Amino acid sequence: MLSGIVNNKINMMLAEAYEYVEDENYSDALKLYNSVLKKEPDNISALVDKGVTLQNMGRFKLAIRSYDKALVISPDNLDALLNKGATFHSDQKYQKAIRCYDEALRIDKKSAMALAYKGLSLGEMGKLQDAIKHFKKALSIDHQYDLASISKEVAQELLKSIKANKIKTQ
C-alpha cells in the first residue's frame, strides 16, 4: 500500500517535470528529477530525462554523467544510449556519438533512430556516402521517418553539389 503511494507520487513528479521541460522551464524540471533521484537513485526514467534536460540546457558533461549512471544500472537501455550519442553529437564529438549508436545497433539492429542519428554524425564528419547509406537503412525499417528522409535528401544534394564543384574546378 505504502509503496503504491510512493510510486504514484514519483510518477506525478516525473509527469510534472516532463511538463516543465515541455515549457522549457529546465531548472524546475531538474529540481523534480533530483527529488525523484533522492528517493529512488536507480530510477532509469528520471536519470535519462534529467540527462535530456541537461542536454537541452547545453550542459553536456552533466548530461553524459546522467546517461552513464542509467547505463550502469541498465547497460542495454536504448534511450540512454541514443540520448548519450545525441549529446556527444551536439557537443561535436561525432566519433563518440557513433560509438553510442553502434552500441545501440548491437542491441537492436533495426533501430531506425540509431541508424539515422549515426547518419547525421557521419554527415557532419563529411562522410556523405556512408551517411546516405544509414539514412536509407533507417527508411527501409521505418518508411515514415522524417528525420532520415529529410537528412538523406540534404546529404544527396550536398554530394551532388560537391561533385558539380569538382567538375567545374577541373
Domains in the chain, start-ordered, CATH in brackets?
1-75 (1.25.40.10), 98-170 (1.25.40.10)
Which of 67, 74, 73, 72 has its CA nearest to residue 97? 67
Q: Quote the pLDDT of residue 4.
A: 61
Cell numbers that stand for 2 in this block: 505504502
User: Cα–Cα distance between 97 and 113 in angstroms, integer?
Assistant: 13
Q: Is the pLDDT of residue 169 over 90?
A: no
Return the percentage of the chain with pLDDT > 70, whole number. Answer: 91
- Please compute the mean of the pLDDT values over residues 64-92 and round it to a whole number: 97
Q: Quote the pLDDT of residue 76.
A: 96
Question: 3 falls in which pLDDT band (50, 70, 90)?
Answer: low
CB 105 within 8 A of CB 73: no
Q: Is the pLDDT of residue 69 over 80?
A: yes
Q: Quote the pLDDT of residue 39.
A: 94
- Please compute the mean of the pLDDT values over residues 145-167 and round it to a whole number: 74
Please state the separation of Cα 107 from the chain's center in Å: 15
Q: Quote the pLDDT of residue 1.
A: 47
Which pLDDT tens digit goes with each residue over 6-56?
Answer: 688 999 999 999 999 999 999 999 999 999 999 999 999 999 999 999 999
- If you write DSSP's letter for every residue of 11-69 in order, what string do you get? HHHHHHHHHHHHTT-HHHHHHHHHHHHHH-TT-HHHHHHHHHHHHHTT-HHHHHHHHHH
Distances (CA, A) of 33 to 5, 14, 38, 83, 141: 18, 7, 9, 17, 34
Question: 5 falls in which pLDDT band (50, 70, 90)?
Answer: low
Distances (CA, A) of 47 to 5, 52, 85, 137, 142: 21, 9, 15, 30, 28
Residue 93 DSSP class: -
Which pLDDT tens digit goes with each residue over 87-146?
Answer: 999 999 999 999 999 999 999 999 999 999 999 999 999 999 999 999 889 888 888 878
Q: pTM for the whole thing?
A: 0.87
